[in-house]
Structure 1
């Protein structure tokens, strides 16, 4: 498997970014809801750094597609499915970037950075007092909806259509 994509399969870089991002998004959503409910302020020590890594991975992924690689050819599917697939992927990028921006905004406005990265968590202020909190929570819920659509479509192709679509986004030769 090459670093770059070929017409039938995604390359190692795209596959690695995809699956690492997926794993980290699941972790950041879980830690974010725990921290957001103020059940576990220590979850912010996981949530914030991983959120930054997801932001960086997303920027690397966008740059990779724009300047270094191309996506494999689309598989044969009805045009509405192709358009829906493209829309979900674009929305993922937009919502991830927006959610990261609102998270950064909350950390900056609240002055929570030094607390999250080693201070006394008991001194944290309530993030609900800061305007970026609402779009951050909405973004998290939109990401969950997009994940459900994305995983559902991948499973549909893999289990029902059996068109090998999911194999294109995995390591190794097809």
Structure 2
């Protein structure tokens, strides 16, 4: 598998960024919601010690992805035969992912700065944490988390829809060659 994408297959860099980001977003969402519902300070702090680095890594990978797409690699062609409306919806969902990720990082950073919670979170003997709901960035952060879940569900549902139709969408976004790429390589030999 090549580092760069081809017309029908995402390259190793794009695939790695995609799947690492997906795992880290799930970790950030799970730890964020669990921290918000935590009954005690120690549990909340422990969850936030995972949540914050996961969110920072999501930001880093998202910036790398944007740079990768804008300056280095070309995206594969849309799935053959997909109606133009589906292609537009896919572009909108992907754009919203970027907007929401950047918004979540901005509002999370705002919450940490406004509350001054970082020293307490990374202290091994945290005795108190602020009530985050008192800080304005909490509103977009909570809304963004829920919107991110909706986008993830739409993204996974679309991928499953295309997979069940036989569009080989998972083959395009996984390591190795998609059947289409493999067939073309075999014919060239």
TM-score relative to the length of structure 1: 0.96
State the alpha-carbon separation in 2 of the partners of residues 83 and 120 from structure 1.
50
Contact 2:171/2:177 (8 A) holds in 1: no
> Paired residue for 1:4?
4
- The superposition leaves residues 115-165 of structure 1 with CA deviations (integer Å, 9 ceiling, x where unpaired) of 222353322111111110010000000000000000000000001x11112
- The Cα of 1:32 is off from its aligned counterpart by 0.3
Aligned mate of 1:103, from 100, 108, 111: 108
State the alpha-carbon separation in 1 of the partners of residues 119 and 13 from structure 2.
33
DSSP 3-state at the match of 1:118 = coil
Say whether residues 1:63 and 2:67 are aligned partners. yes
Question: What is the root-mean-square deviation in Å for CA atoms of aligned residues?
Answer: 1.1
> Paired residue for 1:46?
50
DSSP 3-state at the match of 1:170 = coil
Query: What are the ranges of 5 or more consecutive residues in structure 1 without an aligned counterpart?
Result: none
> Paired residue for 2:136?
131
> Paired residue for 2:177?
173
State the alpha-carbon separation in 1 of the partners of residues 38 and 138 from structure 2.
13
DSSP 3-state at the match of 1:135 = helix
DSSP 3-state at the match of 1:3 = coil
Larger Rg: 2
TM-score relative to the length of structure 2: 0.88
DSSP 3-state at the match of 1:9 = coil
| Moved beyond 3 Å, runs of 4+ | none
With 111-120 and 38-47 compared, the bigger mean Cα shift is at 111-120
Q: How many pairs does the alignment contain?
A: 173
State the alpha-carbon separation in 2 of the partners of residues 168 and 6 from structure 1.
10
Query: What are the ranges of 5 or more consecutive residues in structure 2 without an aligned counterpart?
Result: 179-189
